Amino acid sequence: MRPCPRFSLRNRCRQRCRASAPVCCFRPMPTPAPTPPALPLPALSFTLALVALAGYVDAVSYLRFAGLFVSFMSGNTTALGVAVAHENAAKAGEVDGVITLFVAGVAGGSLLHRRAGAWGNTLILILIAALLLLAHFLPPAAIASLVLAMGALNASVHQVGSVKVSLTFVTGTLVRFGTGLADWLSGAAPAQDWLWPVALWLAFGAGTLGGGAAWLHWLPGALPLAAGLSLALATVARRVGGVR
């Protein structure tokens, strides 16, 4: 039986490599750069709408309560430290209460999401709409209602397809993009989802722009408009696949 020509050629090449060169002729193929993950369009649109809603409400609260955030806890932590350093007990107590309520909103929203199963996002968005309307019609409870609403919103979506998301963690979002940009500029293969943070940041920014404009030009209806958006998202939440 005659040996296979291809097999004989490969053996001869290997023998020459061992005898004359430290580097083998058969080098492994380079690993191809990762392709961006395919994100389902309904899930992508739904998530970006949630991020825009968070930016909208944060902008309204910032204007209404003189620089107090309802979803940006990094800024509130800075404000808490400054208040303590200046021995401003009233301000420190107010900011500390906001941070505590935000954590309570996240915990409550997470429990509701787990117990409700497929209806989790729907019920969370209905709850958010109710809290936004409460903030509008009962001003003394406005801060607490808005903070609880934004905490619950952060418990709604944690992943879109194979990509992890954080709805209001803007700093971390920009860090992920900056890291991916550095990889791309240096010739390394960036993470598959490195451009996704740009969309999240733009959505949050668009929401803050809308919230600021609504507060300045349509003051009485700023929060009811956000409640309406939350209810609209609640009607489609159960039919949106690919989010969890």
The strand pairing partners of 160, in sequence order, are 163, 243
Query: Whole-angstrom Cα distance, residue 158 to residue 154?
Result: 8
The confidence score (pLDDT) of residue 89 equals: 93
Helices then strands, counting H and E runs in the chain, come out as 9, 2
- Does residue 89 contact residue 201 with C-beta atoms inside 8 Å? no
What's this model's pTM, rounded to 2 decimal places?
0.76
Q: What is the pLDDT of residues 167-189, one digit of tens each?
A: 666 666 677 778 778 877 887 76
Q: Residue 242 gets which letter from DSSP?
A: S
Q: Which of 222 and 118 is assigned the larger pLDDT?
A: 222
Asked whether residue 142 carries a pLDDT value surpassing 50, the answer given is yes
Asked whether residue 234 carries a pLDDT value surpassing 60, the answer given is yes
Domains of the chain, earliest start first: 40-237 (1.20.1250)
Average pLDDT over residues 79-86: 93
Q: Please give the angle made by the CA atoms of 168, 73 and 181, to the nearest 5 degrees.
A: 50
The confidence score (pLDDT) of residue 158 equals: 62
Query: Whole-angstrom Cα distance, residue 231 to residue 244?
Result: 19
Sign of CA dihedral 136, 140, 145, 150: positive
Asked whether residue 74 carries a pLDDT value surpassing 90, the answer given is no
Average pLDDT over residues 60-77: 86
Query: Given pLDDT bands bounded at 50, 70 and 90, which one contains residue 217?
Result: confident
Q: Characterise 15 by phi-psi region: left (phi > 0), alpha (psi -120 to 50), beta (else).
A: alpha
Asked whether residue 53 carries a pLDDT value surpassing 50, the answer given is yes
- Does residue 16 contact residue 174 with C-beta atoms inside 8 Å? no
Average pLDDT over residues 182-198: 74
Asked whether residue 205 carries a pLDDT value surpassing 70, the answer given is yes
